[in-house]
Amino acid sequence: MALNDHLPPSAERRAIRELPDALVSQIAAGEVVERPASVVRELLDNALDAGASQITVRLLSGGVRLISVEDDGTGILPEELPIALKRHATSKIGSLSDLESVGTMGFRGEALAAINSIAYCALLSRATGQKHAFLLDGQTGEIKPVARTLGTTVEVKQLFFSTPARRKFLKADATELAHCVEAVRRHALARPDVGFAIWHDGKLVDQWRRCSDQRNSLPALEQRLADVLGSDFVERSVWVDFASSAPTARTFHAPVIKVWGRAGTPDAARSRSDLQFCYVNGRFVRDKVISHAARSAYEDVLHGQRQPVYALFVEMDPTRVDVNVHPTKIEVRFRDNRDVHQAVSHALSSALAPSRAGNSAGAELDLNLAQDPKIKGSNQPLTPVNAAQSAMKFEAHDVPMGLHVNEPWRPFAGLSEQVKSPVDFSETALTAKASTTAQEPLGHALAQLHGVYILAENAQGLVIVDMHAAHERIVYEQLKAQWHTPLSQDDQHRALPCQPLLIPASLIATPVEMATAERHAATLYALGLEITAFSSKTLVVRTVPAALVEVDVVELARSVLAELSQHDTSTAIESAHHKLLSTLACHTAVRASRRLTFEEMNALLRRMESTLRSDQCNHGRPTWHQISLRELDAMFMRGQ
């Protein structure tokens, strides 16, 4: 048999025909129903649209033999039962403008028709105000009265019976069941005000009780997240609660994008991206803008390829999001990608910034946000979070040096001081603070271990600090705070104080490095690095940031050039800068095996407490670890 035997015969003209209705529905079903879980999703959407407060899903054989979804919603009138199964029949929209501002989960009016064309369907419903329930047989169209309380049950039997080829694509029952459960979980996370139960082959698989009668209650969401994803998810995550106003040229009023939910702390990240739940106006979606924004917010604190975990709810004016771009509505399109991106990344980074080590973090963050006229913190009533977060704010006299708001902009000033004596933390303010304040989360230094770790005692027990990692983050955050305005070509007056090298350092450069040095000359200059071409293959470094005179100049230039060449400055300028600063910080931070005095160690601990994101180093590795007294007791079998 020739390889191309299965290809259609070449260009032979065939007549154009209209397809029969049943075939049209089966084709539509091909888009909407991939597997039992797709049916579950559509039926759950319908039940939620009908205002259900309790939904029960019953499955047989992974949903292939039976999917039944029972709700206590408003029901369907007997005369409307047959219409519900028709193609393009819906109660949810009636005009194009309805479509543009659709607030229901469904609107295409094709799910039931499609499902009915590939499975045996039955609709059983008692509508509000009706004395009886009626059962419609989807095959015969026969309707008869039956007994039922208010609400609707949709039964779908023998999925794909009429399209056996598609049935062959199904996986083992256990796999299909897992997908069905995932579909219910996705709905359940978005609706803590609705109770859910899933049964499989007569056994209860999962059930989540209704947590509230309000849709957007944060305590209810927390409860539901714990029920569905486990208490571990809640314990290792922080509240996200944010509203941005994003004025655009097209509108006078500022449409608000709200982002709330919970974001996993960096230590909760996983190797797979299976705990990333993201909703737009209540609908579970997979969206590149949102996931990229989330990634970028975690970039600074996650190690390598680790995947963050989060459940994020993005809410905006429905006219600013097109939900009609995908048959199953799992993809959406935003009018303003940039606004959504900014809202999500700001929401997440502000939630993630305060460190566990600090009781005073959050201040710099508020400052940064205040500088951005487009972003303001949410003052929505649904936020017990705000209160907690503002309680964490610095008092003015607590603001550590280098983070002070009113200080004139002195690029790298703190850094250069440190470089003169690389670990000199013992600025008067810090030492004074260290000796007077009692409640220091990271406690007091006891010793330095092998020149690498600081051991400290705090109220909980023992704290172990990786001093290089911690210092690296401190320097990095300090640089970022001083560098909050993105550079542009005409920002050359902002150049960091630089120092000419007595003997300029030359390096053999790749074509990319040569081009980068030329293209980003202004940025390099502003960074305090003057790198010029000496020949077609050689670069010469003439100046370095004054703070960095002692580093390996060639190595520094190479890292900076490598990073500059990888970032399209028009889109990634801030992250490129952060990466540059991170590189600078790494070169500056105190190296291992340097002996610190107690004063220096304590100063480092205090700095960590007042530094954002100080739980992780710039590369996402932890900077400190707590060993509680209880763990120590267990280690020594005390009190057993």
Give residues in contact with ligand ADP (CB under 6 A).
42, 46-47, 50, 71, 73-76, 84, 89-92, 106-113, 152
Which of 69, 275 has the CB closer to Mg ion?
69
Instruction: Find, among 346, 398, 334, the residue nearest to 377 by Cα.
Output: 346
Helix (H) or strand (E) holding 447: strand 444-449
How far apart are alpha carbons 90 and 33 in whole angstroms? Answer: 18
90 binds, among ligand ADP, Mg ion, none (CB under 5 to 8 A by kind): ligand ADP
Minimum separation from the CB atom of position 121 to ligand ADP (A): 11
Minimum separation from the CB atom of position 45 to Mg ion (A): 5
Which of 109, 451 has the CB closer to ligand ADP?
109
- Three-state SS for 474? helix
Minimum separation from the CB atom of position 371 to ligand ADP (A): 45
Minimum separation from the CB atom of position 213 to ligand ADP (A): 19
Give how many residues touch Mg ion by CB under 5 A.
4
Which of 106, 620 has the CB closer to ligand ADP?
106
Which of 63, 266 has the CB closer to ligand ADP?
63
What's the N-to-C CA distance of the chain in angstroms? 76
The only residue of 25, 26, 46, 296 in contact with Mg ion, by rule CB under 5 A: 46
Instruction: Find, among 377, 358, 160, the residue nearest to 258 by Cα.
Output: 377
Asked whether the beta carbons of 603 and 426 are under 8 A apart, the reply is: yes
Minimum separation from the CB atom of position 87 to ligand ADP (A): 9
Q: Does 73 bind Mg ion (CB under 5 A)?
A: no
Q: Where are the beta strands (DSSP E) in 290-406?
A: 310-315, 321-322, 333-334, 375-376
152 binds, among ligand ADP, Mg ion, none (CB under 5 to 8 A by kind): ligand ADP
Which of 45, 609 has the CB closer to Mg ion?
45
Which of 126, 577 has the CB closer to ligand ADP?
126
How far apart are alpha carbons 40 and 176 in whole angstroms? Answer: 11
Structure tokens given for 13: 């003209």
Which of 187, 473 has the CB closer to ligand ADP?
187
**Region binding Mg ion by CB under 5 A among candidate stretches 98-106, 175-183, 433-441, 482-490:** 98-106
Phi, psi of 344 (to 5 degrees): -65, -45
Q: Does 531 bind Mg ion (CB under 5 A)?
A: no
Which of 75, 255 has the CB closer to ligand ADP?
75
Minimum separation from the CB atom of position 322 to ligand ADP (A): 16
Which of 108, 185 has the CB closer to ligand ADP?
108
530 binds, among ligand ADP, Mg ion, none (CB under 5 to 8 A by kind): none
Q: Build a one-symbol-per-residue string for 289-308: x at contacts with Mg ion by CB under 5 A, - elsewhere.
A: --------------------
Q: Does 106 bind Mg ion (CB under 5 A)?
A: yes
Which of 45, 466 has the CB closer to Mg ion?
45
Minimum separation from the CB atom of position 146 to ligand ADP (A): 16
How much of the chain is helix, strand and coil, in % rounded to 5? 40, 20, 40
Minimum separation from the CB atom of position 89 to ligand ADP (A): 6
In sequence order, the β-bridge partners of residue 137 are: 122
Instruction: Find, among 568, 587, 561, the residue nearest to 509 by Cα.
Output: 561
Asked whether the beta carbons of 465 and 456 are under 8 A apart, the reply is: yes
By DSSP bridging, strand 120-126 and strand 151-157 are antiparallel
Q: Build a one-symbol-per-residue string for 535-574: x at contacts with Mg ion by CB under 5 A, - elsewhere.
A: ----------------------------------------
Minimum separation from the CB atom of position 88 to ligand ADP (A): 9
How far apart are alpha carbons 511 and 137 in whole angstroms? Answer: 72
Asked whether the beta carbons of 110 and 151 are under 8 A apart, the reply is: no
Phi, psi of 321 (to 5 degrees): -140, 130
107 binds, among Mg ion, ligand ADP, none (CB under 5 to 8 A by kind): ligand ADP
DSSP 303: -
Please give the single-letter amino acid code of residue 60.
L
DSSP 221: H
Asked whether the beta carbons of 122 and 134 are under 8 A apart, the reply is: no
282: CB partners within 8 A, 6+ apart: 105, 190, 191, 313, 315
Asked whether the beta carbons of 461 and 636 are under 8 A apart, the reply is: no
Minimum separation from the CB atom of position 191 to ligand ADP (A): 14
495: CB partners within 8 A, 6+ apart: 411, 525, 526, 527, 528
Minimum separation from the CB atom of position 50 to ligand ADP (A): 3
Minimum separation from the CB atom of position 307 to Mg ion (A): 31
Alpha helices in 405-483 (DSSP H): 413-420, 428-436, 467-482
* 504 burial type by CB count under 10 A (0-12 exposed, 13-18 middle, 19+ buried): middle
Minimum separation from the CB atom of position 26 to ligand ADP (A): 15
- Three-state SS for 132? coil
389: CB partners within 8 A, 6+ apart: 354, 362
Minimum separation from the CB atom of position 46 to Mg ion (A): 4
Please give the single-letter amino acid code of residue 544.
V
How far apart are alpha carbons 581 and 604 in whole angstroms? Answer: 20
- Torsion from C-alpha of 482, 488, 492, 494, nearest 10 degrees: -10
Structure tokens given for 295: 């990634």
How far apart are alpha carbons 438 and 99 in whole angstroms? Answer: 60
578 binds, among Mg ion, ligand ADP, none (CB under 5 to 8 A by kind): none
**Region binding Mg ion by CB under 5 A among candidate stretches 27-35, 39-47, 366-374, 553-561:** 39-47
The only residue of 85, 111, 136, 351 in contact with Mg ion, by rule CB under 5 A: 111
Which of 190, 509 has the CB closer to ligand ADP?
190
Which of 89, 455 has the CB closer to ligand ADP?
89
Minimum separation from the CB atom of position 327 to Mg ion (A): 12
Which of 41, 520 has the CB closer to Mg ion?
41
- Residue at shortest CB range from ligand ADP: 106
How far apart are alpha carbons 130 and 560 in whole angstroms? Answer: 73
76 binds, among Mg ion, ligand ADP, none (CB under 5 to 8 A by kind): ligand ADP
Which of 46, 349 has the CB closer to ligand ADP?
46
Q: Does 84 bind Mg ion (CB under 5 A)?
A: no
Please give the single-letter amino acid code of residue 425.
F
Which of 92, 393 has the CB closer to ligand ADP?
92
Binding site for Mg ion (CB under 5 A): 45-46, 106, 111
